[in-house]
Each structure stands twice: as C-alpha cells, then as structure tokens.
Amino acid sequence: MADDTSDPSDTSDTAWTREGGTPSTPATLTSGPTVLDARELIAGYIPEVNILNGCNLSVHAGEFVGIIGPNGAGKSTLLKAILGQCAIRSGTVHLGDADITGRQAHELVALGVGYVPQVRNVFPSLTVKENLEMGCYLAPKRFPQRYEYVTSLFPRLLERAAQRADALSGGERQMVAMGRALMMEPKVLLLDEPSAGLSPVLQDEVFVRCRTINQEGVAILMVEQNARRCLQVVHRGYVLDQGQNAYTGTGRDLLGDPNVIELYLGTLARATGG
C-alpha cells in the first residue's frame, strides 16, 4: 500500500500486543450497564427470507465486543438491523433504556451511536476536513473541539486535511471514516470490518486505534473477517453462523475453544486436514 512506510520491523502479527496483550475478562464491565442490547432478532431484506434467525447480543458500557463468523453469516446484517437498515420482523434493540427497534440511522447518530459501514464510508469528493464536518452536521458548534480530538487520535488526518478523500490510501480513508463516526462523541461505535483490504501493518494500526478509542470510554462493537486478530483485541466475542449465535465468550476463551478453532479460526482445521 502506498503509505506503508512504517518501520518494517512493525509487521509482526502481534505488533498490537505491545499495547498490553489480550485484554483480561472484563467482569467489572459485564456487570455494568448495557449500552446496546439486541434480543431475539429476526430480520431480513426480502419478504419471508430471514437472514437473522434469533440473534442476541449485548454491549456493556466501556466494553469492546467483536463479531466473527463465516462469510454470509449475517454479521453486517446484524449491524444493519440495529441501525434500522434491514427490516426487523421480531425482537428488540435497546440503546440503554430506550427501545430503538427499527429507528433510522440518522436518529441513532443523535442518540449516541456511531457507525462505520464496510464500504462507501467516506464522501470521496470532499476533503478530509469536510468529511469530518459532515460527521458533526447535527451539532456544528462542537466541530472545533471534536476536530482537535479526532486529529490528535489520527494525526495523519491533520496532515491530509485539505486533500480529497478519493486521493487517500485505503488506510487513510478508514481513518477518515472512523474519525467521522467519532465526531458526535458516540457512546457506542459500530464498525463493519475496519481492517478489510488493509496491509498487516495498517490492520494493526486500526486495532490499536480501536483499543485507544475504547480505553477512552467508547463502547465498540466490531465485525471482523480477521477472526483471530479480532478475538485478540476485544474483551468479548460472538461467533455468528447462519444468522444465529454459535459461540460467545471472552476473546481469550474463544481463541482457546477447540470447536471455535476448528470451525472458525482455521488452524486446527488445516492441521488435521479437516
């Protein structure tokens, strides 16, 4: 990738572990208040075709939660259902105490939900700064303070402030998308495959930034194709398969679960020829 100019010694698979290693079981977090709660969601795009078949998911205040699972499992659909972009046929979604089932994405932004879709997540013809302004359009007065925060988190965005988003590398565009979602100071940030298409170094960078954002108090729900990395960085994970919860546990527990390894993490499956 064009901007992959970082120290080559940084390419270690576990570069992020320098930031402190796999997080420990967040007992204090899971006993705390729930920020986001999806119960028994049945949802789909086409009438009578259900993609989600009774999904459950919760994110506690301050928690970093991952969703992994095979392609087509319904991971993106779960985020879209939470964001009112896929019809919910039954079940509920709560944001704190508020029932937000079926509420539209723009309403949810005002309520403290940030969302970074996997694709088309920046305005290509706008500059970096204009993209960030768009993230703050509901509360323009907050722009200077949030702009300062987001550009301190992603200094590259300050350097690139006047450039159009379509002139950026994939990694920089991802920073713009995440930065824009942070402009309204969300309580919870929903990320759909933030590391997709990035080099290993930039993937690490994304995970490290996510962890920083989380440590500063923002709950994160992250869908990831890169299952192993995801489970290494989150507090808790969900394995989704065919629109249903398959496994749930701390990242560490899931990483060590033989069934999860065999079915979803690949190593054992390959090692045993299965």
Ligand X SMILES: Nc1ncnc2c1ncn2[C@@H]1O[C@H](COP(=O)(O)OP(=O)(O)O)[C@@H](O)[C@H]1O
Binding site for ligand X (CB under 6 A): 45-46, 51, 69, 71-77
213 residue type, one letter: I
CB contact at 8 A, 217 and 48 = no
The partner in contact with residue 46, picked from ligand X, Mg ion, none with C-beta cut-offs of 5 to 8 angstroms by kind, is: ligand X
Tell me the closest approach of the beta carbon of residue 189 to Mg ion, in angstroms.
17
Size of the chain, expressed as the number of residues it contains:
274
With beta carbons less than 8 A apart as the criterion, state whether 147 and 129 touch. Answer: yes
Q: Which is nearer to ligand X, 129 or 229 (CB)?
A: 229
Long-range CB contacts (within 8 A, 24+) of 106-111: 108/83, 108/84, 109/138, 109/184, 109/186, 110/138, 110/184
* Binder of residue 35, out of ligand X, Mg ion, none (CB less than 5 to 8 A by kind): none
Nearer to ligand X, 74 or 117 (CB): 74
CA distances, 129 to each of 45, 112, 137 (Å): 35, 21, 12
233: closest CA among 220, 243, 245, 246?
A: 220
CB of 238 to Mg ion, least distance (A): 14
Closer to ligand X at the Cβ: 69 or 237? Answer: 69
- In angstroms, give the least distance from the CB of 132 to ligand X: 27
User: Residue 219 binds what, of Mg ion, ligand X, none (CB under 5 to 8 Å, by partner type)?
Assistant: none
Site string for Mg ion, 63-82 (x = CB under 5 A): ------------xx------
Nearer to ligand X, 205 or 224 (CB): 224
Q: How far apart are CA 264 and CA 191, in angstroms?
A: 20
CB nearer to Mg ion: pick between 75 and 209 = 75
Token reading at 242? 């065919």
Choose the one of ligand X, Mg ion, none that binds residue 2, judging by a C-beta under 5 to 8 angstroms depending on kind: none
Residues 124, 132: Cα–Cα separation, whole Å: 12
Of 73 and 191, nearer to ligand X (C-beta) is 73
The interface partner of residue 73, options being ligand X, Mg ion, none and the CB cut-off 5 to 8 Å by kind, is ligand X
Structure tokens at 158: 């300050």
* Contact flag: residue 131 with Mg ion (CB under 5 A): no
Nearest to 159 by CA among 147, 150, 151: 151
* Contact residues: Mg ion, CB under 5 A: 75-76
